[in-house]
A = this chain, B = another copy of it.
């Protein structure tokens, strides 16, 4: 009576039943700092005593393992796969399976990969699962809304008009979808920069501007060492935002 049914969507809710909240770090635009914010947010949550997971859904351009200095290699499997425990967080990325290889994925392959990861990963009890989103408004954005409808979005933009142009389209999509948006974080703000573009963008969608993170020349050299990432001015500026998000 039923034919060719994909069993995976049915088990996703179970897999996330121990997860108190899902926070997607989104932008639409690439290079605004989604991965830096998502990874550092997860580290700051752990620092604050939370049980935090991090899932890198930038499936063709994963980078969170570089930021965290996480080992690549297969996660252990028992009743599914166990996200890697690293720097106090539970971490899963396609890079664990792919190593340094490259797989170009069409939309249907993206959906399949995402469903497979959500179906087999055992996150256990988490205060928050942070999801690092890919750039663009494509299959991942639509699938997250479809399969994780309660996920709340933390939207990142830089002050550049090019970033705001794309982030506006992302906010417009989230608004059409009725997806919860926690607010907008401004990243890579130069000291002298008094532009108000990001604040205006947030206001145009009735969203909070949650704060500004400085362009931090020391972030690059801290990459790969979690305690050094946590010690950057970038992380310091993100800390109050993390407290608010994980506390709320």
Contacts and interface: CB of A to CB of B under 8 A. Distances in A.
Interface residues of A, number: 49
Given A30-B32, A31-B135, A102-B168, 7 more contacts: A30-B30, A30-B135, A67-B162, A106-B142, A108-B108, A136-B138, A161-B223
Interface of A: 28-32, 35-36, 58, 60-63, 66-67, 100-108, 110, 134-139, 141-142, 160-163, 165-166, 168-170, 172-173, 176, 190, 217, 220, 223-224
Contacts of A163: 31
Contact of A108 (B36, B100, B107): B107
A135 B220 CA distance: 21
A94 to B, nearest CB: 11
Contacts of A101: 169, 172
11 contacts: A29-B61, A30-B32, A62-B165, A66-B161, A102-B173, A104-B138, A107-B139, A135-B136, A136-B136, A138-B138, A190-B217
B161 A106 contact: no
Q: Which of A32, A67, A137 has the most CB of B within 10 A?
A: A137
Contacts of A141: 104
Contacts of A170: 102
